[in-house]
Amino acid sequence: MKFTVQNVSKLRPRIGTLSNFGERKNGTLETPMLLLHSQGGQIPHITHEVFKLISKDAHILQIPLTSMHNFQETLEQYNGTITDFIGSKESLSCITFHDPSNITRQGHHAKNKVPLWTKNGIVYYDAPMYCKVLESYKPDMYFFISDGDTNKGSQQKRIQKAVDTTIHFYKDCLEGHKKSAILKNSFAMASIAGGYCLKSREKCMDVMLKDSEIGGYVIDGLHNNGPEIEFIPFDEVKSVAEFVMSKIPENKLMCVQGCWNPVNIVKFIQLGVDLFDTSYCRIVTERSSALTFSVDLQGELEEYEINLREHKYADDFQPIHNTCSCFTCKNYSRGYIHHLLTVQELLGPILIMIHNIHHYLNFFDTIRQCIKENTLNELEFILIKQFKNYEDSRKKNTAEISTFSEG
């Protein structure tokens, strides 16, 4: 796999291309782009067959190790790739360590090992063990193992430990990558740790920016994953993101993982970040909400999202979004989906997830078009307005519930 940047500049939005996928897959992928978040190799709530109703284009599946750990022994005996195993041969694969949609438990550290929380309990991984697992998965892309257990409140001692452990992992993973006949053909991305300490980030980068085998970097250690990321103010992470992006060579693919809201996604892209994931679609779907924000620069502002559990949608026979062309909006009404959610039918979340993934992929199509036309600032402006209205409404509802509970 090869990454090429069309317009090379630091701290600016950019268009790039991923290509050279090997013998099994042809074509190119344009960045900024999304990894399709999965659990156990399946996009939450929908199957690979259902996803073809959303898009028939090539995509990269984000496959967290935490959801695939139990298949390790089986895959060691399996001759195919991880995407062959999960029944999605047409997809590319990207192996990550943690699941960005679930909160990663803090603590439980061990020397030169990191905990992986699985359904069967905690498993400690070091770099050689991780590389061995990767060889059985045969991924198209993978992230180096790291200690990303830091957030805004982390103490310097924890940050220092995270950096030292991540550097140790980096050296071992790089050695494993070079020696492995399988992994040397995969696109490797190193994780930059250091929490919110710029000196610690610099220490990490001083070690990692020297090796040509690394195709890109992940800005790790900004959070502990999960739904809470949606409401992290961008001002909290801006200085770290700007500092890292100013140091990284322009020809490297840059990734930020997590359930970031669309406004923060665009702000990261304004700094040159290329790669994100669809974990946000999962958390929105699981609160029974459908994304409806507008990305039309000439159109009217829309409601940011709608919660289809609300009783006001019981007799609403409109589609989720009037201009949406997804399978859900073509065939089902808000009222019908409200009914499905009320009686707890499995079809409800499936239909919402189809819409949300479709909407988010279209959002990124618009982002790429705006970069080409130099109108990304206008897109950011209308997103900020819509998200602010949503936040204000959410805070008002929370305050009313709190007042009612106290009364």
Is 204 annotated in a binding site? The answer is no
Cβ proximity of 142 and 134 under 8 Å: yes
Helix 127-137 to helix 156-179 angle, to the nearest 10 degrees?
50
Integer distance in angstroms from the first to the last C-alpha of the chain?
60
Phi, psi (rounded to 5 degrees) for 79? -85, -20
43 CB contacts (<8 Å, ≥6 apart)? Answer: 36, 37, 51, 61, 278, 353, 357
Is 255 annotated in a binding site? The answer is no
- Total residues belonging to the chain: 407
Cβ proximity of 17 and 274 under 8 Å: no
Is 324 annotated in a binding site? The answer is yes
Q: Which amino acid is at 58?
A: A
231 CB contacts (<8 Å, ≥6 apart)? Answer: 261, 391
Helix or strand (DSSP H, E) at 369: helix 347-373
Q: How far apart are CA 131 and CA 136, in angstroms?
A: 9
Alpha helix positions (H), 14-155: 48-51, 72-77, 82-85, 127-137
Q: Provide the β-strand partners of residue 63.
A: 95
Is 355 annotated in a binding site? The answer is yes
Residue for token pair 């980096």: 170
393 CB contacts (<8 Å, ≥6 apart)? Answer: none
| Token pair recorded at residue 182 | 């399988």
Q: How far apart are CA 64 and CA 278, in angstroms?
A: 13
Cβ proximity of 110 and 124 under 8 Å: yes
| Token pair recorded at residue 249 | 């060579």
Annotated binding-site residues for Zn(2+) read 324, 326, 329, 355
Annotated binding-site residues read 324, 326, 329, 355
